[in-house]
Amino acid sequence: MKRTLALVLFLFCIIIVVSSRTSLDSLKEYQDSLSQPASTELTTPPPDPPEPPPVVTNDERDDEFMIYGPGAYKVGTDIPAGLYMAKNDGSNISRVVVKDSPEPDIEKPNIIVTARYLSDRGTFAERAAYVESVSRGGGVPVQPKDDEELAEILREGLTEYADELAKRYDGLVLTGGGDVAAHFFNQEHHPASNPPDETLDIAEIALTRAFIKANKPVLGICRGMQVINIAMGGDLIQDIPDLLGLDPEFHNDYEARHPIKIRSGTWLYDLVGSQADVNTTHHQCIDDIAPGFTVVAQIGPVVEAMESGNVLGVQFHPERMLDEGMLPLFKDFIERCSYRDREVNIFTEHIIIELEENHYIDIRGATLTEIENTLRDFNKIFDTEGHYPEGMYWIGHHVPEGVYRLNIAKDADFSHYAVYRDISRESLTHSGVILEDGRLITLTSGQFVSLIYATMTPVSAN
């Protein structure tokens, strides 16, 4: 009993000591606080940031301010007609397709496959690999033996047939072959160039221009890409080993493969990815690219692909690589040929498009906003170095008119720009490759400028 009472008294004493110490500590903290200046900081939490406008689909409508997200829409019903800005929504690639009908107009499009006329044999060269590629892609290949007017333009250079053939058929494949005569791109014949077939040159240049004018898809392969470039105002390097100093064998082996780097936000990137191992056999290549076209792939100084709208040129031979990942290229080309009116916009940042009543639009990896609701977004769009980044701008609305300095975007291998009088592709005023920083352009209100792997800086800002 005595031991128990002693233990209780001992515990009671410990509690009193601890409580006293705590009270003294609290009193000291209070006294210290009296000697400090009063705090001027607000203790209320900051207000919540404003919520961004909602991203909607065609099942949700808010006519005050709309941002249309990925999905399918009919213009005039699900989305008003007008001018819009499409922005990448953070995806690896954005794709906006505008077409005249929700489903293809043509089940199996008819595609011209060009061929050289062999006068010594009285027949046309066999184009079996190209014919197979079109067939496996879902199209119907049309050869000279299938159409007498096609045969006559290829055999005799009767260019008056070009426009009619562009109306009659749904797409054009320009095949590989020999060198184009140098006078077609205002140069003298290089000693290393092969003797040209000028009748074929005349025919393919005329067909290219006719199909592009008719807004029909064109695919040019090897020589075919070079024909596209010449037909639309570009030129060629006539001999890679002599003029570029490269190994003669490097670009002259069907079986060998070499890597190419493919620019994001392009037709080829969407189908193949950022790089591919391709074959090649050619001693000529693109030099100055045609106005309105973009270099989308290359290895060193050699251009391996170019494109503009529904026109794609490749220097390599995908028809020989169908089972090595190139069949999707032909399938996508045939799909483009399946619509009478179809515009495909592939991009990485932002573009401006015009939507017309009763057209259909498919959006992937992007959002769409009426142009008037995007103007405030560009008040502080400069990057940390004072540049307007890659994208498309409406002069006088998104950026002021004036003189701008063009620069190559960081880590870019090739940069381009294009200036349009209005939003239509046909209104191109000038374009070009940016080889070094500092190129100056003058932009006026109402124009549209497209920057591809490029930036621009107002001259007055420097």
**372 pLDDT above the threshold of 90:** no
Both tokens of residue 335?
A: 């799909």
- The DSSP letter of residue 103 is S
CB within 8 A of 457, min separation 6: which ones?
386, 387, 388, 404, 405, 407
Quote the CA–CA distance of 443 and 462 in Å, as a whole number: 17
Question: What pLDDT, on a 0 to 100 scale, did the predictor assign at position 189?
Answer: 94
Residue 13 appears among annotated catalytic residues: no
Catalytic position from the list 319, 335, 343, 390: 319
Position 344, amino acid: V
Domains of the chain plus CATH, in order, are 62-95+341-367 (no CATH), 110-338 (3.40.50.880), 380-462 (no CATH)
Q: Cα 140 from chain centroid?
A: 28
| DSSP assignment string, 59-100 | T---TTS-EE-SEEEEBTTTB-SEEEEEEE-SSS-EEEEEES
Question: What pLDDT, on a 0 to 100 scale, did the predictor assign at position 382?
Answer: 57
**Higher per-residue pLDDT: 15 or 127:** 127
Q: Mean pLDDT of all residues in the chain? A: 84
Question: What pLDDT, on a 0 to 100 scale, did the predictor assign at position 50?
Answer: 42
Quote the CA–CA distance of 74 and 362 in Å, as a whole number: 9
Mean pLDDT of 21-33: 40
Mean pLDDT of 195-221: 97
Residue 416 appears among annotated catalytic residues: no
The band of 82, judged by pLDDT with boundaries at 50, 70 and 90, is very high
Mean pLDDT of 413-422: 87
Q: Is the pTM of this model over 0.85?
A: no
Quote the CA–CA distance of 370 and 85 in Å, as a whole number: 6
**Higher per-residue pLDDT: 253 or 317:** 317
- Across 16-30, 35-49, 60-74, 203-217, the highest mean pLDDT is recorded for 203-217
Question: What pLDDT, on a 0 to 100 scale, did the predictor assign at position 29?
Answer: 42
The band of 16, judged by pLDDT with boundaries at 50, 70 and 90, is very low
Catalytic position from the list 222, 285, 398, 416: 222
Task: Report pLDDT digits (tens) over 129-138.
Answer: 999 999 999 9
Question: What pLDDT, on a 0 to 100 scale, did the predictor assign at position 28?
Answer: 40
Question: What pLDDT, on a 0 to 100 scale, did the predictor assign at position 284?
Answer: 92
Instruction: Count each helix (H run) and each strand (E run) in the chain, helices first.
Output: 9, 29
Nearest partner of 449 among 386, 385, 405, 414, judged by Cα: 405
Residue 222 appears among annotated catalytic residues: yes
Mapping DSSP onto H, E and C, the string for 227-281 reads: HHHHHCCCCEECCHHHHHCCCCCCCEEEEEEEEEEECCCCHHHHHHCCEEEEEEE
Contact (CB, 8 A) for 73 and 363: yes
Nearest partner of 407 among 440, 450, 455, 442, judged by Cα: 455
Catalytic position from the list 251, 317, 350, 398: 317
